Chains A and B, each alone.
Chain A
Amino acid sequence: MKTSFVAAAVASLLAVGIAAPGAAQTPPNMLVIANRIDDIKTFDPAESFEFAGADVSRNVYQKLVNFDPLDLDAGYQPQLAESWEISDDGMTITFTLAEGHTFASGNPVTAKDAEFSLRRAVQLNKTPSFILTQFGFTPENVEQTIVAPDDKTLVLTLDKPYAVSFVLNCLTATIGGVVDMETVMANAVDGDMGNAWLRTNTAGSGPYKVVDWKPSESVLMDLNPNYGGETPAMERVIVQHIQESATQRLQLERGDIDVARNLSPVDVAGLSDVDSVKIVDELRGRLMYFSANQKNEMLSDPKVIEALKYAADYEGMSNSFLKGQYTVHQAFLPRTFLGALGETPFSYDMDAAKAALADSGYPDCGPIQISVRDAQERMDIAQSLQNTWGQLGCDIELIVGTGAQTLDRYRAREHDIYLGAWGPDYPDPNTNAGTFAFNPDNSDEAGATGLLAWRNAWAIPEMSEKTLAAVVENDTETRAEMYRELQREHQQTSPFGLMFQQIEQNGMQSSVENFVAGGATTAVSYWVITK
């Protein structure tokens, strides 16, 4: 008699399970996205510096100049500014603001808001502030250098005549987002210029506003009712944090979501014969590289580095576990950037590697530790390098840690080899040149922890000069050629082994059109999407 009770209980549990709704379909005016968004810490454009944060920010905040999602190759276009003029000495840029832009609060966008936003970003001095301060803005001088004489005009005064494209490209970054001065200052506490409030709230003039954010769970965005542009088709956008690729794939197959943004190569392949789903490839700006600490005597031998560069199975990796998601790329500017270089001088060649090693001061190689964070693709790459470098006779040990742990060692210059990824901070070649090929003072005291060249203790006074020269060159073709030259030299002499550039493979329902993740230069744009 008791057994029947147990059986009944089990049966009823299963019955309720079966009765649960199965496949669903998302409402036509709602876009549902699965993505990894646990890196979001804040929505404040002056502070936000994460990938998922940039995805939100681009749809919430407008900038003086911005990219058209349907024509990214055209470069920056007018947005809040309808035009701009450069003074003859090249040090002053005067923007004229466009009509018809309104914040979600209903306040019109004026030059005063732009002035406030840029000054605020400099004064708060959060991590991304360098994007602006590299033009000579300081918390002390912003009152003179960032000025809006009236509601239609904004004047920026630089410390040097930089390439205009460089300045404007920087203004398209998240930190260039213009916030609603009145709303923000009404929520300021203890002189934080609204920093705490903007962490969880938004006050922009873009097509959407954030309605709800649960950290590491979901972000919910609704239309900004006062948006000045054409009303987007998607009235509500929900981004849900789904860690696992396999889960995203299942949800996509079942129609629970419209877009899956973190599909692994295996799951992309698994979706290829599902008719209702398509995969859209997009080249992104993220690079995968290894770098050798020049404080390590063996690794500062150029021949050893050359051997390591030859002994990496670039094609093997990009055709197996990275298939479709990383393409071989060996220069520090991502493809589609100004001055990008497509040459790949290194291929997997054990003979060349062995010959180089034999010529070096360390023909028997030695112990090398690879610092790598515990992300799947990086661990796979690290294990492949361990395998092929091991064949050279090197004794490779993997030091796996969380992002913060590995980064900590890297910044303290305590690694041997660091296996890392680098994404551009703003869509100008200087964003990568200024870190891979710039290190004016290599001393420990300099503490230039933001520079990859410094982290690897690579002293390059001459190359640093060349990098500096490139940012003030106003002729675009000459500038591009300067970067190509720089990269060729970098490929041969640097302790950086650039390996791959990311291709983002987004899976989506076949009805979804115009999903643009942002290319190598910017972030996702929801307002053009239809389905």
Chain B
Amino acid sequence: MSTSQGLRDWLLSEEPTSRRQAKYASWYKGWLTLRSNTLAMLGLFVLTFLILCAIFAPFLATHDPFAQDLGNRLLAPGEGGHLFGTDSLGRDIYSRLLYGARISIYIVLLVVMVAPLVGLIVGTVSGYAGGWIDIVLMRITDIFLAFPRLILALAFVAALGAGIENAVLAISLTAWPPYARIARAETLTIRNSDYIHAIKLQGAGPFRIVTKHIWPLCISSLVIRVTLDMAGIILTAAGLGFLGLGAQPPSPEWGAMISDGRQYILDYWWVATIPGIAIFAISLAFNLLGDGMRDVLDPKEDNS
């Protein structure tokens, strides 16, 4: 009790004694603001729940998500010990949903590792170097921005072949340009600051300046954008799955599950509806959290 009280005081101290304390303190204050935002906490709660579901899928699942039982297909929720019923091949929808959460989270994580990084590199190099490098890189960014996003993703998947990894690559390829824009804008404001001039005088090369000094300053605006984009990533991935270009059968990807169930929607509504609700829940959770985080990290509304 007393130690946690001490920790709290240390974090909320008006006069931080070290740089680290100041950093932790600002994070903690952000967390406090976030915690007071009910909707954001709801989002966080749902996300945590889904992530736990994904992690503990093998323990929570009541059936093998791939085991077919043609004799017991299209059972209604609750029938025959299947919480959410069974699909057209007699597979347990509840268990498939749990394993599907793994795929969604896996996709989001991969995209989040690739797209912002590409955007960061392109944007900072473009902003820092200026001149023709800037023109060329921004022209390329514009080209990708002018592309219909889903169609570009479709084209890439069609070219690379259907599958989760390729879907991730395709989504990343369509997602990076806005990050590049943000990173470039940040770089432009930082580039001529005294701080960077001082570092330059100390003899730091451009590579070192970009990676050690500009990147860290771009991170916070990127993080907000990424959190807000996560729902979009999930929806795009589900859209690809729905079109048969994402995860391949028998993988329980949620978009593919909707696609499988759509032909049964009139008589067996749950086959397509339940995975739809799952997609909705996870993207709403990301949106709620992202919205809350924006309030914390960037009080003024995003006008881009």
* Interface residues, chain A, with chain B CB atoms under 8 Å away: 244-246, 249-250, 264, 266-267, 269-270, 313, 316-317, 319-321, 374, 376, 379-380, 382-384, 386-387, 398-402
Which residues of the partner chain B approach A383 to less than 8 Å between Cβ atoms? 68, 89, 249-250
A313 touches B263 (CB 8 A): no
Interface SS of A by simple majority? helix
Can you list 9 contacts pairing A with B, beta carbon distance less than 8 Å? Answer: A246-B262, A267-B263, A317-B70, A320-B70, A321-B70, A321-B89, A383-B250, A387-B67, A387-B250
- Given A266-B263, A374-B244, A382-B249, 12 more A-B residue pairs with CB atoms under 8 Å apart are A245-B263, A249-B266, A270-B267, A316-B71, A319-B70, A320-B70, A379-B249, A383-B89, A384-B68, A384-B70, A387-B68, A398-B248
B248 touches A400 (CB 8 A): yes
CA gap between A314 and B262 in the complex, in Å: 25
Q: Which of B66, B88, B265 contacts A321 (CB 8 A)?
A: B88
Cα of A250 to Cα of B260 in the assembled complex, Å: 19
B149 within 8 A of A: no
| Residue of B whose beta carbon sits closest to that of A379 | B249
* Residues of chain A with a CB closer than 8 A to B71's CB: 316, 320
Please give, as numbers and ranges, the residues of chain B lying within 8 Å of A269 by CB-CB distance: 267
Q: Is B128 an interface residue (CB 8 A)?
A: no
What's the Cα separation between A50 and B288 when bound, in Å? 50
CB pair B249–A250 under 8 Å, yes or no, is no
A380 to B68 CA separation, bound complex (whole angstroms): 11
Chain B CB count within 10 A is highest, among A313, A320, A382, A386, for A320
Asked if residues A316 and B249 are in contact (CB atoms below 8 Å), the reply is no
- How far is it, in angstroms, between the C-alpha of A379 and the C-alpha of B251 when the chains are bound? 12
Q: A384-B89, A400-B248, A400-B249 are in contact. Are A244 and B263 (CB under 8 A)?
A: yes
Main secondary structure of the interface of B (DSSP, over half): loop
Contacts of B68 in A (CB 8 A): 383-384, 387
Is B249's CB under 8 angstroms from A246's CB? no
Choose among B89, B244, B266 the residue that contacts A267 (Cβ–Cβ < 8 A). Answer: B266
A380 engages B89 (CB within 8 Å): yes
Question: Min CB distance, B87 to chain A, in Å?
Answer: 10
Closest residue to A386 on the B side, CB-wise? B250
3 closest cross-chain pairs (CB), A and B: A320-B70, A374-B244, A316-B70
Contact A320 B262 (CB under 8 A): no
Distance in angstroms from B161 CB to nearest chain A CB is 8
Segment 83-109 of B: residues with Cβ below 8 Å from A: 88-90
What separation, in Å, do the CA atoms of A262 and B161 have in the docked complex? Answer: 28
A250-B70 contact given A382-B249, A400-B244, CB 8 Å threshold: no
Chain A's nearest CB lies how many Å from the CB of B18? 52
Question: Counting CB contacts under 8 A, is B264 at the interface?
Answer: yes
Contact partner of A398 among B89, B249, B267, B268, CB < 8 A? B249
Nearest CB in chain B to that of A396: its residue:
B250
What is the CA–CA distance of A321 and B162 in the complex, to the nearest angstrom?
25
Asked if B63 is at the interface of the complex by the 8 Å CB criterion, the answer is: no
Cα distance A249–B265 in the bound complex, in angstroms: 12
Does B82 reach chain A (CB closer than 8 Å)? no
A-facing residues in B260-276 (Cβ within 8 Å):
260, 262-268
Contact residues in B for A316 (Cβ distance below 8 Å): 70-71
- Measured CB to CB, the nearest residue on chain B to A315 is B70
In the complex, A364→B179 CA distance in Å?
Answer: 50
Q: What is the CA–CA distance of A264 and B264 in the complex, to the nearest angstrom?
A: 9
Distance between Cα atoms of A271 and B49 in the complex (Å): 41
Complex CA gap A402/B89 in Å reads: 22
What residues on B are CB-neighbors of A384 within 8 Å?
A: 68, 70, 89
CB–CB A266/B264 < 8 A: yes
The answer to whether B266 and A321 touch across the interface, beta carbons within 8 angstroms, is no
Q: Which of B223-256 contact A (CB under 8 A)?
A: 244, 248-250
A225 and B249 CA atoms in complex are apart in Å by 52
A374 to B259 CA separation, bound complex (whole angstroms): 11
Complex: A384 Cα to B73 Cα, angstroms: 13
Whether A401 pairs with B266 at a CB distance below 8 angstroms is: no
- Nearest A residue to B265 by beta-carbon distance? A246
- Given contacts A316-B70, A321-B73, A400-B249, is CB(A250)–CB(B88) below 8 Å? no
| In contact, B70 and A313 (Cβ under 8 angstroms) | yes
Q: How far is the CA of A376 from the CA of B266 in the complex (A)?
A: 17
- From residue 32 to 86 of chain B, which have CB atoms closer than 8 A to chain A? 66-68, 70-71, 73-74
How many angstroms from the CA of A150 to the CA of B89 in the assembled complex? 62
